[in-house]
């Protein structure tokens, strides 16, 4: 296996979703899981107390908690995208990589809110991946993190991701002060994944295991002070599946799976600092289509709300239409007001506190672009042959962004093609 193939296998093994993943592909997997779960739900009805037996009863709803609606309806106001802001002009420059690494051996994956730190991954051995950390644009390969896959980084250069446990399985971990520390995993969980970290060092993610209930995973918080907390939803109709973002004030964004129907539908969910929560408003009720939140910055959150309704863009002749038969509906939520923007065909991958979003304007070619007040502006690229955005991030103020680009089209999220261009955008 060549270096490129190894890097692909590392990414697939460590189960860390890249910041840029086409929702069409992610949700196709979710729909397959939903169909398979129809059969399993009836058989699993008798194991609702399994979490107590496993010693993780904290994940169960509080008996006295007020129920949340299992079928969310639009409680906010939808604002159709209407260009009102000027184009956002950005410049592109290469993000340098350490000497000795080929273009298929390194990727950038996450940026901190200040824009100073960028974390990524490099092929560090025959079957391992290591941490790449850029500080003010200068790359390093920390010696203690030669077996570490990055998912997020905070403004104190603490990196959250995965590292192998004693059995060689991936476990949520942090790289801090020159060393890697595995995060505790609840009894019954065979896998854990860290997905986000705030300035305080609090980490969120998910756990999974064959002895856990019928959902694919459970949402988890690892407080900076140690230990872990499994996040509740307060209603038996929803199971917290994943936590994907955490603010410095403790607000957590993630996904809860509806378990009251034959279908088990994932939906975007928000926990406040006290860990009570609510479903985010949706443009319409979903019964089978998957939805979910993917990122948060300040009052803004982004995600997917089922399938795109109304007129759909025509599929270019050079694109395999079977991969895009059901384009997804992308949404930006205002967490302060409950309003949301329906973004049409713009696919957001990251958001800033200023409301600027990074994403792709051309869902069929993965073309990187920015969104500001409804105006979509293509981003400059360094190599036209490497124009498909697979990983990306943007700083809190919206002035610094990065992208890992590959030749289009990658056949699937499990097999992104190299070589990779690492691009730094200044806006």
Q: What is the dihedral of CA 398, 402, 408, 412, to 10 degrees?
A: -90
Contact between residue 396 and residue 113 where contact means Cβ atoms under 8 Å apart: yes
Listed in order, strand segments (DSSP E) in 183-231 are 191-197, 203-208, 218-222, 229-230
Alpha-carbon distance 19 to 111, whole Å?
Answer: 10
**CA distances in angstroms from 235 to 55, 61, 243, 270, listed in the order given:** 20, 6, 17, 14
Beta-bridged to residue 334, according to DSSP, are 300
- Read off the pTM: 0.82
Nearest to 229 by CA among 211, 246, 215, 248: 246
CA angle (193 as vertex; 111, 48 as ends), nearest 5: 140
Contact between residue 268 and residue 286 where contact means Cβ atoms under 8 Å apart: no
Contact between residue 120 and residue 109 where contact means Cβ atoms under 8 Å apart: yes
Q: Which residue stretches of 59-186 are H helix?
A: none
Pairing of strands 191-197, 203-208: antiparallel
Tokens 């994944």 locate to: 193
Q: Which domains, and CATH codes, for the chain?
A: 3-43+74-309+326-426 (2.130.10.10)
pLDDT at 345: 81
Cβ atoms within 10 Å of 153's Cβ, excluding its own: 28
pLDDT at 114: 98
Q: Residue 178 corresponds to which tokens in the numbers above?
A: 């020159």
Q: Residue 129 corresponds to which tokens in the numbers above?
A: 């991946």
pLDDT at 266: 84
Alpha-carbon distance 242 to 255, whole Å?
Answer: 5
Give, for all 427 residues of the chain, the pLDDT tens digit.
Answer: 444 343 433 333 344 443 333 343 334 334 334 333 322 222 222 222 222 222 222 222 333 333 334 344 444 555 555 677 789 999 999 999 999 999 999 999 999 999 999 999 999 776 779 999 999 999 999 999 999 999 999 999 999 999 999 888 899 999 999 999 999 998 888 899 999 999 999 999 999 886 665 556 899 999 999 999 999 977 778 889 999 999 999 999 999 987 755 557 788 999 999 999 899 998 888 777 888 999 999 999 999 988 877 766 677 676 666 666 677 889 999 999 989 998 888 899 999 999 999 999 877 778 999 999 999 999 999 999 999 999 999 999 999 999 999 987 765 555 566 789 999 999 9
Contact between residue 168 and residue 149 where contact means Cβ atoms under 8 Å apart: no
Pairing of strands 300-307, 203-208: unpaired
pLDDT at 286: 79
């Amino acid at each position: 296996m060549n270096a490129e193939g190894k890097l692909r296998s590392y990414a697939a093994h460590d189960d860390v979703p890249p910041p840029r993943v086409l929702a069409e592909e992610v949700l196709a997997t979710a729909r397959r899981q939903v169909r398979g779960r129809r059969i399993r739900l009836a058989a699993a009805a008798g194991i609702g107390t399994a979490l107590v037996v496993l010693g993780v009863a904290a994940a169960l709803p509080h008996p006295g908690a007020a129920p949340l609606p299992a079928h969310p309806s639009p409680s906010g106001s939808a604002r159709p995208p209407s260009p009102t802001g000027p184009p956002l002009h950005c410049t592109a420059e290469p993000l340098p990589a350490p000497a000795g690494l080929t273009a298929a051996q390194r990727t950038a994956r996450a940026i901190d809110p200040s824009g100073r730190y960028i974390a990524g991954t490099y092929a560090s051995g025959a079957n391992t991946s290591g941490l790449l950390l850029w500080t003010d644009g200068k790359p390093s390969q920390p010696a203690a993190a030669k077996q570490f896959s990055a998912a997020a980084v905070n403004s104190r250069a603490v990196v959250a991701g995965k590292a192998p446990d004693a059995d060689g399985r991936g476990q949520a971990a942090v790289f801090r002060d020159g060393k890697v520390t595995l995060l505790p995993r609840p009894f019954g969980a065979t896998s854990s994944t860290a997905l986000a970290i705030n300035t305080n060092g609090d980490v969120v993610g998910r756990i999974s295991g064959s002895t856990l209930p019928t959902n694919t995973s459970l949402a988890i918080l690892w407080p900076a002070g140690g230990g872990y907390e499994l996040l509740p939803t307060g209603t038996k109709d929803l199971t917290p599946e994943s936590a994907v973002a955490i603010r410095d004030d403790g607000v957590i964004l993630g996904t809860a799976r509806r378990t009251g129907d034959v279908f088990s539908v994932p939906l975007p969910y928000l926990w406040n600092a006290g860990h009570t929560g609510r479903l985010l408003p949706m443009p319409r009720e979903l019964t089978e289509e998957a939805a979910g939140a993917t990122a948060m910055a300040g009052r803004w959150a982004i995600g997917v709300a089922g399938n795109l309704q109304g007129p759909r863009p025509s599929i270019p002749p050079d694109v395999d239409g079977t991969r895009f038969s059901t384009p997804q509906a992308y949404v930006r939520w205002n967490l302060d007001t409950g309003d949301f923007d329906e973004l049409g065909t713009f696919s957001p991958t990251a958001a800033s506190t200023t409301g600027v979003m990074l994403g792709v304007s051309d869902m069929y070619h993965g073309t990187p672009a920015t969104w500001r007040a409804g105006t979509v502006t293509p981003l400059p690229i360094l190599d036209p042959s490497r124009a498909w955005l697979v990983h990306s991030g943007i700083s809190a103020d919206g002035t610094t962004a990065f992208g890992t680009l590959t030749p289009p089209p990658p056949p699937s999220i499990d097999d992104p093609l190299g070589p990779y261009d690492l691009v730094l955008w200044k806006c």
